[in-house]
Every structure is written in structure tokens, then in C-alpha cells.
Structure 1
Amino acid sequence: MMHYRKGDNIAKETKKEELPFKDCLPKGQENFLWMHVNGGTKVNNVITYAKNALDKGEYRTIVWSGHGGGVVKTVSCAEIIKRTHPLYQVTRMDYKITEEHWLPIMDNLEEIVVTRKVPAIHILMSLEAINDVEGVQKPNTKTDYWDPPGPSNSRGFNQRNGTRRQNQQYHGQRQRKFKRKENQQKEDADENVVQHDRNQKRKHKKSEGNSDNRENKKTTEPKNT
């Protein structure tokens, strides 16, 4: 990596028609409010904007989207706004494609592009009824989306302290597993960059060696008299 400098990160923008809600978007709600959340988003600002849009009747459906460091804030926004509005909710997980560009600082080296898949979350919330959809959460109910697999438990986290600890342990394991996978992807990408750098250096060294051999051959050839 010593022969490269960090370039731009280019994220593939997701379009409205690419959101994973084709099977559950309420009829007539194609023109929904799409709220993008990232790690630096002010939660109070976006919540106030979304509430005003619902209260004024400008929109009846909202989609919250966030990726990477914005996932936690995306979930927080959804949890806050459904306290004041009877919203149906559908949560879907996805990936956002990001390209990292590495620019060479030496001649005879090529630009390296590393593609990463960043975890993303999309939360559909609507005042219109959403029925017959897997994973739908109706107003004033709890979701089992984040619960570990196993026998159904209508009381979720509030059943007993033991259950709460088990759920916390399960989610902790999921977070650690996800972190290990993310680190492994980063290590693999860095290894690819290093291997590419080695190949380029080997290729450059070989071309220099061939050039030196041709020069030596020219100097050792006897002159015709």
C-alpha cells in the first residue's frame, strides 16, 4: 500500500424502485416520504420534519433508510415516531455497495478499486393498513424481528430477567459475528491490494531486467571490421 494513496469512496445510490418493499407498499402510496439517516444526522430534526409531514397530510407513508453507522439512528427514528402515530411497520435488511479507489503514486501501476458491501436497513411505516405481509408490525404492538429464533414468545424482552439476559447474549453474539465478518472482508480487500502491488512491482522489476539485458547485449556484441 506504500505505493498508493487513498482516493474517493463512491457509493452506489439506491433508487426508490429498488427498495425492498414491492410486496408490501400500500396501494396509492408510491409517492412516499423517504428519509435518509447517517451517523451525523440530528435525530430531532428529521423526527420533527417527518411528524409535520404526517400531521399536515402531505404524506401517509414514510421509509427510513440508513447504512453503516446510521443503522442505529434509523431504528431510533422509527421507534420514536411510532409512539405518536398509529403506523404499520415493515423492516428489511439490505446492503449498500461502496467502491474504494486507490490511486498509484508510481509509474507502471494501475488504479485499484475495492468493492465493499455495507449493511443497510430500510423501515417502511404507513398510516395505511398493511396486511398479509411477512414480518409486518401493526400499531401498538411489539415486533419479534430482533428476537432469536425459537419458540414464539409474545412477551418478548419483558418476560423474565433470564429471558432478557439470553436475548442480550444472543444479540451480542450476532454483533460480534457481524464485526468479525466485516473485519475479514476488510482484511481480504487489503490483502488483494497488497498482492496487486506485489505483482505490479514484480512486473516492473522484470521489465527493467529485460531492458538491462538488452543494453548489455548491445555493448558486448563485437563490431564488424
Structure 2
Amino acid sequence: MATDGAGAKPVPQSGMENFRKVRTSEEESPLPFPDLPPDVVEMKVKEGSKIRNLMNFAMAQMELKGRRQIVFSGCGRAVTKTITCVEIMKRKLGGLHQVTKVRYKTLLEVWENQDPLPGGPAQNLTVHKNVPSICILLSRDPLDPNQTGYQPPEPQHEPQLGDAGEDTSSSSTKGLKRPLPPPSDELLTKKFQVQVAESPRGSGTTDHQPDGHH
């Protein structure tokens, strides 16, 4: 507790000491993408959302129901999780065009006084907060490459088949920073030359490269 300027009455350190947040709502606003189909699926990512549940639903929409576009949106602390969902879907499906829009949205927080005056009504407080928000459109169909926030599809790699004919591309590409393009004779030659030129020196290990003189 602290006192006011005259030292006569004790006043609380913060006016919110007796208040508890009971509800949070997000101000509705239209998606920032033109020409979206009316039935486009918007995945609203929340701070407490489970990524596995989000991705199961989103993948079912794109693969089983054959939708061409999907939107992921999140604000505040959910922005990072929103981006994670988008990257997972891009890696799983491949060939997706992307448009990213960043803006601010208003959150409405309702706080309730846990220690109201005796005989008085319960006191509620509504707080308006502006928080960063992100909306990301993923599309199987080409999008306008000149619009702000556009990203073209990432290069794809060919799946590698194991002994049983199973697709092992997901496990074989773990740790790669980006997918590899389909191999060709010219590409393999260039890759071999780069490996020879960039072999580490003086690092305590020896990388023997075939030189063709054996």
C-alpha cells in the first residue's frame, strides 16, 4: 500500500489489484484478401490452440474436401503459432502460393472486481487492447505476384522410396534448411564440385573426396 500526496489515505499500488480477467473477445474484421471464395476456411489460431488439432482439420479441408485456398489468422501471443501452422502445411502439401498481411486488431478484455463494495453492484471493467495480428493466405492456385506480402511456392524435392516402397522423404529431409530440387547429371556435377571446393580445412576432421586419380 502507498499513500496519496497528503499522506492521509492509503491507496492501492495498482487499480487492478482486485480485478480478475473473466472474458476476452476479438473485434471482428474482414479478411484482408480480395476475391476470396465465400466458403473459404479461416483457421483462427488462439494462444491455447493445439497445433496437432489445427493441422488435422486444415489438412482434411485441403486434401479430403479438395479446397483450393485456406487462411490462417492469429493475433497477440498466437502469432508465432500461426506461422508455425503455415510452415507445416507448406511442407506437407508443397506448391502453395502465399500472401501474408500484418495489421493490428482490437481485443476486448472484461475484468471483474473480486472485492466490490458491500451492498453495491459488481463492478466490471472493459479494456481495449491493440495487438499485432497476422493473416496468411495459402492457395493451390496462382496469386498475383505483385501484391504486397506475396511468396511463391518453394522448390519441391522428389520423394525417396525405401525398400518396402514407402515414402521416406519426410524423414530423409529432416535437418535440411530447404527442399532439394530434382537431381540431374549437370546438377550432380555442380554439387560435387561445390563439395570439393567447400571441404573444411583445419577443423580437426578430414573429409576425403574422390579425385578420380585412383
Using structure 2 for the length normalisation, give the TM-score.
0.54
Q: RMSD of the alignment, in Å?
A: 2.6
Query: Is the contact between residue 96 and residue 138 of structure 2 (CA under 8 Å) also seen in structure 1?
Result: yes
Deviations along 1:158-181, one digit per CA (max 9) or x if unpaired, are: xxxxxxxxxxxxxxxxxxxxxxxx
Work out which of the residue numbers 30, 42, 46 in structure 2 matches 1:34: 42
1:160 is aligned to: none
Work out which of the residue numbers 31, 55, 59 in structure 1 matches 2:63: 55
SS in 1 for 2:150: coil
* CA distance in structure 2 between the aligned counterparts of 1:100 and 1:61, rounded to whole angstroms: 32
Structure 1's 53 and 100: CA in aligned 2 closer, same or farther, altered over 3 A? closer
Query: Is the contact between residue 22 and residue 112 of structure 2 (CA under 8 Å) also seen in structure 1?
Result: no
Deviations along 1:23-69, one digit per CA (max 9) or x if unpaired, are: xx45xx33211111122222222223222221224411100011222
Quote how far apart the aligned CAs of 1:6 are: 2.4
Code of the aligned partner of 1:9:
R
SS in 1 for 2:54: helix
Deviations along 1:104-148, one digit per CA (max 9) or x if unpaired, are: 51259975332111222111111111013222111116xxxxxxx
1:134 is aligned to: 148
Structure 1's 39 and 101: CA in aligned 2 closer, same or farther, altered over 3 A? closer
1:67 is aligned to: 75
SS in 1 for 2:151: coil
Work out which of the residue numbers 103, 106, 110 in structure 2 matches 1:97: 106
* CA distance in structure 2 between the aligned counterparts of 1:63 and 1:14, rounded to whole angstroms: 15
Query: Is the contact between residue 9 and residue 98 of structure 1 (CA under 8 Å) also seen in structure 2?
Result: no
- Is residue 2:34 matched to residue 1:11? no
Which runs of 5 or more structure 1 residues have no equivalent in the other structure?
Answer: 142-225
Structure 1's 102 and 32: CA in aligned 2 closer, same or farther, altered over 3 A? closer
